Amino acid sequence: MSTDTVAYVEESGFDALLSKEKVVVVDFTASWCGPCRLVSPLMDRLAEEFQDSVKVVKIDIDNNKPVFKRFGLRSIPAVLFFKDGNLVESIIGVSAYEQFSGAVQKLL
């Protein structure tokens, strides 16, 4: 498995992404965040498993604070699930892969 199969997206392209893709999974992360490093390979796996139906992206909160605050987030890792541009689920903190994949399957 390649490292970093999930692309980083900047705040400027975030809304366009939400309007373009049916299901989007957003991993809010930061380079200094230890727990985020545990979630990162799970996001890569999610992106691979659902590559035909889901767009998985990461947002570095250090460079994109407004979009982080827009969703009322206070801690990371935070994974948000969007369908048709609407936030439908959030998983805050480190969780098992099955929680992330289960959340995606509910949206398909």
CATH number, domain with residue 44: 3.40.30.10
pLDDT tens sequence across 36-54: 999 999 999 999 999 999 9
pLDDT tens sequence across 62-101: 999 999 999 999 999 999 999 999 999 999 999 999 999 9
CB 100 within 8 A of CB 27: no
Q: Which residues form the domain of 82?
A: 7-107
Residue 2 located in a structural domain: no
Predicted TM-score (pTM) of this structure: 0.94
97-107 vs 34-49: helix crossing angle, rounded to 10: 40
Residue 92 located in a structural domain: yes
Residues carrying an active site annotation: 33, 36
Residues 63-97: b if buried by 16+ CB within 10 A, e if exposed? ebeebbeeeeeeebbbbbbbbeeeeebebeeebee
Report how many domains make up the chain: 1
Residue 1 located in a structural domain: no
| DSSP at 51 | T
